[in-house]
Chains A and B, each alone.
Chain A
Amino acid sequence: MGSDLFDNGSAPAAASGYTDAPRRVGFFTDTSLCIGCKACEVACKEWNQVPEDGLVFTGMSYDNTQGLGADTWRHVAFIEQRKPLGGQVGGGGSDGAQEFRWLMSSDVCKHCTEAACLDVCPTGALFRTELGSVVVQEDICNGCGYCIPACPFGVIDQRKEDGRAWKCTLCYDRIGAGGEPACAKACPTGSIQFGLLEELHVHADQRLEELQASGMDDAQLYGRDPGDGVGGAGAFFLLLDEPEVYGLPPDPVVTTRDLPSMYARAALAALALGATVAALFSAPRR
């Protein structure tokens, strides 16, 4: 009866108490279309006024932002592999020396159906919007940092100079004014698609079939399955290789699933402590 406390079902906004919530929106990032232009990173920074995140040269292909964090809400990954792309025929020798593919993927907060960051936030600074996304309220966050180890994707992080936690808001402000998120608006190839999540699911399934039919056997959807460890993601991906290759956890699970058990065990341990002390002190003195 109380299971809804730890289970959002398929409609997180409704489970959060919105009675007439609009349909859930989200991102579908089709990495097969990504050309690594980083327009999404720039647009996100510009619109959300995200500070500079370190001007370094990493040598990690064309990736100098390295990963999502407090000051990187969109991150384009670049992976170089000695594999052919789909049914592509490599030139040159039989040892595959000429085979090469360059995978690019724009990563973002997953806006999980069951979001660990939001579950553990002690102040209520993280909240579920009526659109199903997960947003930090910067005027509430007191920088306790609990959300950071709770996120199984390593998305949310603390801004050092500021003390608070920051992450993608799914451009809550733009959507409210009838727009679409800045990254999706700026994406020149349609790799980042924004829309109603149900429609994106249908479209993604079709796209996956197309790609597999064209010989990309490793293509897979990530975050599409509502039965996964986080109840499905509000931002899901079409990947051309295993999730680990892109720096994504292969099987993320929201940590609060085990919380009832943790509480029960903590209560039992507390009882044991009280009982032990009582027994020891009530023993007759010698």
Chain B
Amino acid sequence: MTIRSFDLLQPRSLQEAVELLQKYGDESRPIAGGTTLVILMKQRALHYKYLVDLQSIPGLSQIAHESDGVLIGALVTHRMVETSPLIRQAFPALAEAFSHIGNVRVRQTASVGGNLAHADYRLDPPPALLVLNAELNIFGPEGSRVIPLQNFFQGMYETALTPGEILVGVKVPFTPADSRAVYLRYSALSANDWPCLGVAGFLSKADGRCKDLRIALGGMAATPVSVDGLEFANDQPLDQPVIDKILELVERQIAPFSDLRGSEWYKRRMAQLFVKKAIERLNGEAA
């Protein structure tokens, strides 16, 4: 099927891109990697008269080492994150999360910013970025602002971006040396499919006790879920009673729905299993 005709506008600066988005409003959409957007336009599920090409704006496809973390430009491809020596060294769980998306061609094309702004509930990067306390750099009609990723996902395919705003980068702060993060994905269909669920965990320990524990899940509700209330585990060893309580918090905070990747019952069971696995991996290996 061919795509209905549209105009591809190629601004040279963020300012110009924002002006185009404001001028054409709902008839326009920014295009980043253009994976999902082009496919949905091909299937005629979506149509925009104007696509504002973010690839024509210089400076959005770099992975930059900053003093307090790594800044990943919105146009950086999944494949660049997956293969970046800096990311693999500083955030192996993040490289892992990006390395299983679709297939190598999709990862070659799809961008970090496009993935987040699409806000599909079952994508791999959001849980991994959530436990790493990532922040988003946004540019819009009012200038620049920074928000925690935590506040970005508002509903299924809905984000905190307001009309005219563009996601320009993701900042991942460096983690303490005594910490570890993991990402586990479970695919109920083929390996290239969206995950049935993804679980990310982060743990920093002191003297064998938990100092900071974070868990996030993808595919388990309309938005990625960051598990609340884990502070109770601080200063405690991650033993069975503590793990049971964590699993109870997870069970209460997820709201999976049945689809072809599993029934609600099945997904709840898988969430328990994979969160347990993630904690075991964090607990066994963290310094």
Q: Do A and B bind each other?
A: no
A-side residues, CB < 8 A to B, are none
